[in-house]
């Protein structure tokens, strides 16, 4: 005898528990289905990493620190679902301000040039009033930052000594260029009285001020090519000024955070020759309080995507993994960074 469709449908609603057959209504089946979905969602949520939010202090919008922080965050945020790290950047006045803010706990990481790292860690120079911050830790090195002196052609400035008696922008308090300019002025025995006028413009404003004949020159510690210097070169005739001489040599020989550097020619309109100068290196700095696991993942993400980072800004083209792994850092390595570099054989004596 054929089985009716109605009877077959009802048999499907029977469940065997032991030897008993229990009939489940539609409402009960729907409730069980919902419970299973909730349990599945709960398990997925418990398996996902707890979100951690990090902020990187950078610099002015037209400099290289801001895109450097942005590049790091873009790479780290690619893995936010798997790793739970959400990264963002904050525009700041630069190195000194970054390290002070990092010390106050208002940001999680900071990009800073080598001389300010040294002084912040040891409580010297502009950081004397704040005291040594022994909680600072190096994560990895970034780009080189030649100290760049840009003068208008009409100013007649051809050497660093020609800045005396001129209108010079020495940078904002808290900026890296202000720090290096102060060191050079001390080495030469100069004070602000040696200039016709001293200005404290931001990197957003100094190019326009140069071309508008408000200043004769500005100084800038920056990776090249830099947007604001291109802006100046496109707006008026400029000249890159070499920073050399006995005082500069003495400064380099007595401070290991300074290096001799060269700005390649043909990078800016009207400047075909290489320019010799002094310089520092930018690094990513963290507090030792930040989780070693988080720093490990951040370093791993960046180094495994270094090719992508090199394409994010012209100043990053020359980044090399071997130089980014600090071999003799001015500030001790963070445990998380040390773990990654040790695993990959990038620390001296551990390959």
pLDDT at 172 over 70: yes
pLDDT at 109 over 70: yes
Q: State the pLDDT confidence band at 260, using cuts at 50, 70 and 90.
A: very high
Paired strand residues for 86: 53
Element (H, E) at 301: helix 292-304
- Written as one string, the DSSP assignment of 117-134 is HHHHHHT-GGGTTT---T
pLDDT at 93 over 60: yes
Q: What integer best gives the mean pLDDT of the chain?
A: 88
Q: 38 vs 24, 44, 46, 90, CA distance in Å? A: 20, 10, 12, 39
CB 270 within 8 Å of CB 239? yes
pLDDT of residue 131: 94
More confident residue, 53 or 35: 53
Alpha-helix runs per DSSP H in 49-204:
65-77, 80-83, 95-104, 114-122, 176-188
pLDDT of residue 22: 44
pLDDT at 202 over 60: yes
pLDDT of residue 327: 86
pLDDT of residue 144: 93
- Averaged pLDDT, 47-70: 86
Q: State the pLDDT confidence band at 350, using cuts at 50, 70 and 90.
A: low
Domains and CATH numbers, the chain: 52-144+282-343 (3.40.190.10), 145-280 (3.40.190.10)
pLDDT at 201 over 90: yes
Q: State the pLDDT confidence band at 2, using cuts at 50, 70 and 90.
A: very low
- Averaged pLDDT, 263-275: 96
3-state secondary structure at position 100 = helix
Measured CA angle at 347 (ends 346, 351), to 5 deg: 65
213-245 per-position pLDDT tens digit: 999 999 999 999 998 999 999 999 999 999 999
pLDDT at 28 over 80: no
User: Of 13-17, 25-29, 235-239, 281-285, where does mean pLDDT reach its minimum?
Assistant: 13-17
Chain-centroid distance of CA 25 in Å reads 61
- Averaged pLDDT, 255-268: 95
pLDDT at 14 over 80: no
Q: State the pLDDT confidence band at 27, using cuts at 50, 70 and 90.
A: low
User: Of 52-66, 144-158, 332-346, where does mean pLDDT reach its minimum?
Assistant: 52-66
With a CB cutoff of 8 Å and minimum separation 6, the contacts of 20 are: none
More confident residue, 42 or 292: 292
Of all residues in the chain, what percent carry a pLDDT higher than 70?
A: 84
pLDDT of residue 50: 65
More confident residue, 333 or 35: 333
pLDDT at 151 over 70: yes
pLDDT at 324 over 70: yes
């Amino acid at each position: 005898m054929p089985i009716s469709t109605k009877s077959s449908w009802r048999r499907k609603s029977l469940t065997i528990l032991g030897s008993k057959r229990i009939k489940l209504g539609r409402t009960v089946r729907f409730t069980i289905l919902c419970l299973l979905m909730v349990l599945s969602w709960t398990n997925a949520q418990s398996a996902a990493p707890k979100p951690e939010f990090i902020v990187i202090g950078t610099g002015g919008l037209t400099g290289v620190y801001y895109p450097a922080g942005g590049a790091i965050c873009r790479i780290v945020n690619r893995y936010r679902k798997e790793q739970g790290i959400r990264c963002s950047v904050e525009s700041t006045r630069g190195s000194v301000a970054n390290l002070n803010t990092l010390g106050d706990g208002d940001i999680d990481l900071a990009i800073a040039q080598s001389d300010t790292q040294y002084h912040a860690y040891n409580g010297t120079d502009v950081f004397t009033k704040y005291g040594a911050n022994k909680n600072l830790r190096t994560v990895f090195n970034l780009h080189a930052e030649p100290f760049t002196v840009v003068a208008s052609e009409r100013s007649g400035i051809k050497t660093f000594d020609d800045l005396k008696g001129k209108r010079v922008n020495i940078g904002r308090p808290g900026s890296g260029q202000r720090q290096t300019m102060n060191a050079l002025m001390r080495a030469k025995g100069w004070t602000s009285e040696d200039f016709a006028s001293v200005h404290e413009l931001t990197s957003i404003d100094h190019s326009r001020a140069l071309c508008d004949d408000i200043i004769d020159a500005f100084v800038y510690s920056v990776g090249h090519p830099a947007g604001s210097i291109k802006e100046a070169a496109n707006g008026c005739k400029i000249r890159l000024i070499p920073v050399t001489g006995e005082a500069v040599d003495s400064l380099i020989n007595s401070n290991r955070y300074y290096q001799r550097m060269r700005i390649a020619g043909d990078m800016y309109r009207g400047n075909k020759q290489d320019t010799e100068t002094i310089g520092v290196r930018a690094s990513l700095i963290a507090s030792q309080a930040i989780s070693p696991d988080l720093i490990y993942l951040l370093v791993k993400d960046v180094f495994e995507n270094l090719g992508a980072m090199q394409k994010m800004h012209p100043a990053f083209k020359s980044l090399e993994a071997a130089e980014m792994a600090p071999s003799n850092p001015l500030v001790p390595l963070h445990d998380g960074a040390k773990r990654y570099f040790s695993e990959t054989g990038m620390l001296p004596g551990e390959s």
